[in-house]
Amino acid sequence: ARGLLINQNSRSSFTADEEFDELCFEFGLELDEITSEKDIISKEKGEEKAKGASDVVLYKIDVPANRYDLLCLEGLVRGLQVFKERINLPRFEKIIPAEGEGQRLVITEQTAQIRPHAVAAVLRNITFTKDRYDSFIDLQEKLHQNICRRRALVAIGTHDLDTITGPFTFTAKAPSEIKFKPLNQSKEYTASQIMDLYRTDSHLRHYLHLIENKPRYPVIYDSNGVVLSMPPIINGDHTKISLNTRNVFIECTGTDITKAKIVLDIIVTMFSEYCEKPFTVEAVEVVYPNGKTHIYPELAYRTEKVKPEYINKKVGISETPSNLAKLLTRMCLKSHVTGNGNHLEVEIPPTRADIIHACDIVEDAAIAYGYNNIQMVIPKTYTIANQLPLNKLTELLRLDLAAAGFTEALTFALCSQEDIADKLGMDISATNAVLIANPKTTEFQVARTTLLPGLLKTIAANRKMPLPLKLFEISDIVVKDPNTDVGARNYRHLCAIYYNKSPGFEIIHGLLDRVMQVLEVPPNEENGYTIKAAEGTAFFPGRCAEVFAKGQSIGKLGVVHPDVITKFELTMPCSVLEINIEPFM
């Protein structure tokens, strides 16, 4: 979901706040917050800085991630008004200029290596106000952030057409050969200088890497060599749009042609509303390196046939075909009944790129019907269920460990590398641990290979509690395993710790015996369990034993080494038991 701030006046055709909230809810929008510019600045920078800011009520609305047509005020209001049957969805018209009169964008072969695709369109005789202009810029930014994947897939450039002359050329040149005055700068820079110029810019520095180390940078020129833009970084100052701009040239360049087309369609369908001939868009001819040409924008309408019974069956309602047609039309999917009354023809407009399967149409019908009007039923089929054996075993052991006087802890599965290696006297390479590539802090460097650090940290956080501290956890650890399809697997470990003025090895040993008793594993070597003296870097020398059962080593118990105790910021001795319980299923 993404947020959209709209001011109260825009929803004035809907009466109260509650009514608007209800409407948003039914439609699938979340009215996240009711705020104002003053409130926002107050929260971020304090009340002093907020003085003089606008008091106008703003609605923060969360929009579903696949609805690009609801990302700006124009689209949102239009969608809601069609939903409430106050207007019909406008019909978008592509105007193809007479031969020789339209704009052309020529793509050269040099772009192939860096940014091969480009589409373009013109909005004629448009009238901007401050609000419309802000909305126009805002939509581009929102599209950049989501469908354009932070400009990597598509970058949008909008230009005052009256400041330039076509035909336009989209090419790629060496950075030293590109020189222009970037938007809002006062002098010309070469492309390499532009990279340096914006290296510290809080907004643009995130996009530099998209072209920085390439031999050629993308650039768009007009027929007089004026630079329109250097996608995806920045437009030229020459073509900047003002409130007086009447004709807009829009270009979208990128590495994904499907998304470039969608983005262009969205921009023109949203803002052609303000053209002298509303909802018309002037086409541009794009010429490819191989000489082929294509007219953009696509602005395609397509028709899908759906059976009314399919919709009724999937939702669990029984509406007549003509009612279903009305419902879909309210969702901007203009529909009518055809055939013998047993088919629906649904027209998908260019604003609904999210409709890719009949189930998308089903959802829209259900939304218009009102989810909360659907009758709730229970699936009729009886099933016989089972608990997962490993979890059943875990649940039983938890109860018995608690009955033995130990308190359960629930700790994080991610920890620092030190926690499972250095602090336990080991090298990380000996742990067979799974390593995280992009942790935000050291606390998320690795997945735990043992439950011990978690319990030691829990004790450290509870030092003020009365002694003895007796904790346990039965949960998963993670290790690398080349025999699994992903290369790693979980093991269910049981870990118990006793922390007191004396280490209590006999208590931990007694707990192991109790666990084996409830698991009905006898204390002998042939068909039960046994313990043998062993070494362990985390354990006090001579006070460590290895546990064997079911023909394998299942873990260790012993007195924790004083170095380990100190490294976890503890001061008392303690004993610990840690075993793998999976062999006992």
Query: Binding string to another protein for residues 389 to 428, with x set by CB under 8 A, is what?
Result: -xx--------------------xxx--------------
Cα dist from 141 to 4, 14, 64, 149, 191, whole Å: 12, 28, 17, 11, 22
Q: Is residue 3 close enough to count as binding another protein by CB under 8 A?
A: no
In the complex, the smallest distance separating the C-beta of residue 477 from another protein, rounded to whole angstroms, is 9
Q: Is residue 485 close enough to count as binding another protein by CB under 8 A?
A: yes
Strand ranges for 181-328 from DSSP E: 189-190, 217-221, 227-230, 234-235, 248-254, 280-287, 293-296, 302-306
Q: Is residue 202 close enough to count as binding another protein by CB under 8 A?
A: no
- Of residues 38 and 480, the one with the C-beta less far from another protein: 480
**Among 215, 278, 487, 510, contact with another protein (rule: CB under 8 A):** 487
Query: Binding string to another protein for residues 62 to 81, with x set by CB under 8 A, is what?
Result: --xxxx--------------
**Binding span for another protein by CB under 8 A among 125-133, 186-194, 202-210, 312-320:** 312-320
Q: Is residue 30 close enough to count as binding another protein by CB under 8 A?
A: yes
DSSP letter, residue 503: -
In the complex, the smallest distance separating the C-beta of residue 169 from another protein, rounded to whole angstroms, is 27
In the complex, the smallest distance separating the C-beta of residue 440 from another protein, rounded to whole angstroms, is 6
List the structure tokens of 457: 């940290």
* 498-557: contacts with another protein (CB under 8 A): none
- Of residues 165 and 432, the one with the C-beta less far from another protein: 432
Which residue reads 């009955």 in tokens? 403
Closest CA to 120 of 289, 301, 266, 264: 264
**Binding span for another protein by CB under 8 A among 83-91, 256-264, 280-288, 560-568:** 256-264
- Of residues 3 and 510, the one with the C-beta less far from another protein: 3
Q: Is residue 492 close enough to count as binding another protein by CB under 8 A?
A: yes
Q: Is residue 367 close enough to count as binding another protein by CB under 8 A?
A: yes
User: 217: which strand partners?
Assistant: 173
Q: Is residue 212 close enough to count as binding another protein by CB under 8 A?
A: no
**Among 34, 287, 295, 488, contact with another protein (rule: CB under 8 A):** 488
**Binding span for another protein by CB under 8 A among 209-217, 459-467, 484-492, 529-537:** 484-492
Letter string b/e over residues 449-482, b meaning 16 or more CB atoms within 10 A of that residue's CB: bbbbbbbbbbbeeeeeeeebbbbbbbbebbbbee
Q: What residues contact residue 558 under an 8 Å CB cut-off, 6+ apart?
A: 505, 536, 539, 540, 543, 544, 545, 575, 576
**Among 202, 437, 524, 552, contact with another protein (rule: CB under 8 A):** 437
| Number of amino acids touching another protein (CB under 8 A) | 73
Neighbours of 45 (CB within 10 A): 11
Q: Is residue 323 close enough to count as binding another protein by CB under 8 A?
A: no
**Among 375, 524, 552, 571, contact with another protein (rule: CB under 8 A):** 375
* 164-183: contacts with another protein (CB under 8 A): none
**Among 362, 495, 516, 577, contact with another protein (rule: CB under 8 A):** 362
In the complex, the smallest distance separating the C-beta of residue 460 from another protein, rounded to whole angstroms, is 19
Contact 48, 73 (CB under 8 A): no
Q: Is residue 379 close enough to count as binding another protein by CB under 8 A?
A: yes
**Among 46, 225, 291, 482, contact with another protein (rule: CB under 8 A):** 482
The 3-class SS string of 557-581 reads EEEECHHHHHHCCCCCCEEEEEEEC
In the complex, the smallest distance separating the C-beta of residue 420 from another protein, rounded to whole angstroms, is 14
Spatial distance between the Cα atoms of 254 and 272, rounded to a whole number of angstroms: 23
Amino acid at 289: P
Q: Strand pairing of 469-480 and 407-408?
A: parallel
List the structure tokens of 380: 């009729």
- Cis status of the peptide bond prior to 482, with omega within 30 of 0: no
Contact 301, 347 (CB under 8 A): yes
**Among 10, 490, 500, 537, contact with another protein (rule: CB under 8 A):** 490
In the complex, the smallest distance separating the C-beta of residue 410 from another protein, rounded to whole angstroms, is 9
**Among 15, 224, 386, 552, contact with another protein (rule: CB under 8 A):** 386
Spatial distance between the Cα atoms of 509 and 532, rounded to a whole number of angstroms: 12
Distance between alpha carbon 125 and the CA centroid of its chain, in Å? 38
Q: Is residue 142 close enough to count as binding another protein by CB under 8 A?
A: no
